[in-house]
A = this chain, B = another copy of it.
Amino acid sequence: MVDILHRVGIKSSLDEVYKALSTCEGLAAWWTNNTEGESKVGGVIQFRFSAGGAEIGSFEMKVLELHPAERVLWQVVGGPEEWIGTKISWDLKQDGEYCIVLFKHQGWKEPVEFMHHCSSKWAIFLMSLKSLLETGKGAPNPNDVKIDNWN
């Protein structure tokens, strides 16, 4: 089992960052603008991604934990085979003027090439989250920063 790990620091409050991770409106502003579902414990959120007007992928996350200003935990219940069953956690803490986000995408069975891609792409989306909170503007799909031929 191998994990993707990231850390970003955002000049924002824990409450604001939590809101961007725990509401469909918040998630749509930095990850993909096609976000719908119920962000409550036991609910499922669907994230759809497109390029050039065509859908290129989607993920379904079951919300396992929601601790305001502290932690969000999802389990992947729909999407690429390699993602199914993996868990994605977001832990927040204050450090000076920063809200520190510790991100983990845990439980990959193998360190496949697709995992390398997802690791880099998660970093890009975490920078989109940072930008949303610091400048008011994120870069969610379909306006996300492209990193390779897998988008």
Closest chain B residue, CB of each to CB of A130 = B147
Give how many copies assemble into the complex: 2
Q: Given A123-B119, A123-B124, does the pair A149, B9 have CB atoms closer than 8 Å?
A: yes
**Which of B102, B116, B117 contacts A113 (CB under 8 A)?**
B102
A102:B119 contact, CB within 8 angstroms:
no
Beta-carbon contacts under 8 Å, A89-148 to B: 95-98, 100, 102-103, 111, 113, 115-117, 119-120, 123-124, 126-127, 130, 145, 147-148
A51 within 8 A of B: no
Closest chain B residue, CB of each to CB of A127 = B147
A126:B120 contact, CB within 8 angstroms:
yes
Measured in the bound complex, the distance between the Cα atoms of B113 and A95 in whole Å is 13
Q: Which residues of B contact A48 (CB under 8 A)?
A: none
A148:B9 contact, CB within 8 angstroms:
yes
A7 within 8 A of B: yes
B148:A8 contact, CB within 8 angstroms:
yes
**Chain A residues in the interface with B (C-beta under 8 A):** 2-9, 95-98, 100, 102-103, 111, 113, 115-117, 119-120, 123-124, 126-127, 130, 145, 147-150
